[in-house]
Amino acid sequence: MRIRSQSNFWCGLLFAALGVTVMILARDYRIGSAARMGPGYFPMLLGALLALLGLTLTVPALFRDGPAFPRLHLRPLAFVLLGIAAFGVTLEYLGFVLAVAALVVIGGLADPDLRPVEIAGVALFMAVFSVGVFAVLLGMPLTLWPAL
């Protein structure tokens, strides 16, 4: 059979899978009854609802035309997410200033039109500016440099 709306088909399938997963996980919690709900009642109900909603997207997608599957651009996504993760790790071990620099440089790679000199400039500017605003002006408890 031909899937006539790729986007809706997969979107619905994703929701249905998510709903079923929630229902499986929610089995660990007591369900109770409608009058005395346990912690598992809401998750079970919502999981089932989501699974049903998913099907109402997936099934019609087989018969009716709709949007095709979108193109995902992985380069910007990967570098932006990597940059944020790097900020977290660097902040934990090497302090705030290097974390800001790491974020700007790695995140900067997300842009195909990257200009190295500019990014270095932005990194320097953001490091100075954020230390000034967050650490000095607002007095936030941030570790600025690696502990030696």
State how far the Cα of 50 lies from the Cα of 43, in Å rounded to an integer. Answer: 10
Does 27 bind another protein (CB under 8 A)? Our answer is no
Does 98 bind another protein (CB under 8 A)? Our answer is no
Task: Say which residue the tokens 């619905």 belong to.
Answer: 12
Give least dist CB 1 to another protein, A.
19
Quote the tokens at residue 117: 């000199």
Give least dist CB 146 to another protein, A.
15
What are the backbone dihedrals phi and psi of residue 142, each rounded to the nearest 5 degrees, phi first?
Answer: -115, 140
Give least dist CB 2 to another protein, A.
18
Does 61 bind another protein (CB under 8 A)? Our answer is no
Quote the tokens at residue 42: 């809401």
Does 131 bind another protein (CB under 8 A)? Our answer is no
Tell which residue, 114, 107, 65, has the closest CA to residue 86: 107
- Whether 62 and 9 have beta carbons less than 8 Å apart is answered as yes
- Whether 22 and 43 have beta carbons less than 8 Å apart is answered as yes
User: Judged by CB, which is closer to another protein: 3, or 53?
Assistant: 53
Q: With the C-alpha atoms ordered 49, 50, 51, 56, is the resulting torsion angle positive or negative?
A: positive
- The residue ranges that bind another protein (CB under 8 A) are 7, 10-11, 14-15, 18, 22, 25-26, 29-30, 34-39, 42-43, 46-47, 49-50, 53-54, 56-57, 67, 70, 72-73, 76-77, 80-81, 83-85, 87-89, 91-92, 99-100, 103-104, 107-108, 110-115, 118-119, 122-123, 126, 130, 133-134, 138-142
